[in-house]
Amino acid sequence: MRSRSIPLSLAACSRLKPERPTTGLRPDGVTTFLASHTALSGNTVRLRQTFTTSLHMAALTLMLDQLFVRSDALTRQLSAPLVDERRQYLAQCAAQGMARRTLRVKARLLLSIAEYLSLAERPDDKISLSEIEKGASRWSSHNWPSSKSCYAKLSREYFIAQAAGWLRFLNRLQTVPKPVKVYDQMLAEFSRFMKEDCKPEATRLGHGTR
In contact, 155 and 144? CB cutoff 8 Å: yes
pLDDT band, residue 133 (cuts 50/70/90): very high
pLDDT in tens, 154-208: 899 999 999 999 999 999 999 877 665 665 667 667 677 676 666 555 554 555 5
Burial of 169 (0-12, 13-18, 19+ CB in 10 A): middle
Among 169, 173, 178, 177, smallest CA distance to 128 is for 173
Residue 185 is predicted with a pLDDT of 67
d(CA 176, CA 32): 62
- Using pLDDT thresholds of 50, 70 and 90, give the confidence band for residue 55: very low
> What's the pLDDT band for 122 if we cut at 50, 70, 90?
very high
Higher pLDDT, 186 or 91: 91
DSSP string of 8-43, one letter each residue: PPHHHHHH--PPPPTTS--TTSHHHHHHHHHHHHHH
pLDDT value for 64: 78
The per-type count for the chain, helices as H runs and strands as E runs, is 9, 0
Count of alpha carbons within 13 Å of 68, Cβ hemisphere only? 20
Q: Measured in whole angstroms, how far is the alpha carbon of residue 44 from the centre of its chain?
A: 25
State pTM to two decimals.
0.57
Residue 14 or 160, more confident:
160
Which residue ranges make up each domain of the chain? Answer: 49-197
Lowest-pLDDT range, 10-19, 127-136, 157-166?
A: 10-19
Q: What is the pLDDT of residue 69?
A: 78
